[in-house]
Amino acid sequence: MIEGVHSLVHNESGEEWVLKNQFLPQGFYDIARLLVESASINWEWGFCQGIASELITVNDIIEPTIGVNGYARRTVALIYPTFSMNLAAGERTTFTSTAFSGFIRTAPGWDKEVDRMFFVNKDSQKIVSMSVPMPAFLTTTGVFSATYTARLL
C-alpha cells in the first residue's frame, strides 16, 4: 500500500489538518479499470469515523447524514485534470487532486462526530482511500477546502 495525504484547510481561519492515509487496493482497481476500459469512474470525498481495511465499504463506517447542517460528499472524477501525475525529485511520482472547496459544516455541526476523510467509489460504495484520524473530532464550523496527494514510488 502507499500513503497519501489529505490536506484540509478551514477557509476562514487558515487552520490546516494534514492527514496521512492508506490508498486501498480498491483504489488501484479503479485505476487499472480505467487503463483497460472506457469507464467513467467517480469517487466521492467525505468525512467519517472508521478503521481502514482492505475491503471496507460505506457500511463499515460512521458518516454524518447527508443534508444535515451542510454535510455533503464532494464528487471527484477519477480523470485528468481532476487528478494529475507529477514526477518529483528522486523519481517519486505524485498523484495529486485539484483543490476542492465547499465542504460545509454549519452550527451546531454534523449529526455524527468525524475524525477521518475518505474517498469512496460512487457506484460500488467501496472505500478506496481513508485517512488516519485527526488529533480530535472535528469541531470547527464553516467552509473547508481540501486537496489530496499520494506518492507512488
Partner 1 sequence: MSQLNTKAARGEFCVNGEWVPNQLTGQGIQNIFGMALGDVLHEQMQIGLCTGPLIPAFSKVSDPTLLTVPTVGVNGYAQPTIDKGALSWAAYGFVDSEVFVETTLFTFTASGGSFSSPVNRLFLSNGIGALIYKLFAYSQPFVDTPMTIVNGQILRVKYRIWFR
Nearer to partner 1, 9 or 26 (CB): 26
Residue (112 or 151) nearer to partner 1, CB: 151
Residues in 11-30 that interact with partner 1 by CB under 8 A: 25, 28-29
In the bound complex, what is the minimum distance in angstroms from residue 57's beta carbon to partner 1?
15
Q: Check binding of 93 to partner 1 (CB under 8 A).
A: yes
Instruction: Report the site for partner 1 in 113-152 (rule: CB under 8 A).
Output: 151-152
Which pairs with CB-CB distance under 8 Å and at least 24 residues apart come from 32-40?
A: 34/78, 34/79, 40/77, 40/79
The footprint of partner 1 on this chain (CB under 8 A) covers a number of residues equal to 31
Cβ 6 vs Cβ 148: under 8 Å: yes
CB of 44 to partner 1, least distance (A): 17
Residues of this chain, 44-63, that bind partner 1 according to CB under 8 A: 54
By beta-carbon proximity to partner 1, the closer residue of 36 and 107 is 36
The site for partner 1 (CB under 8 A) is made up of 1-2, 25, 28-29, 31-38, 54, 78-81, 83-87, 90-93, 95, 151-153
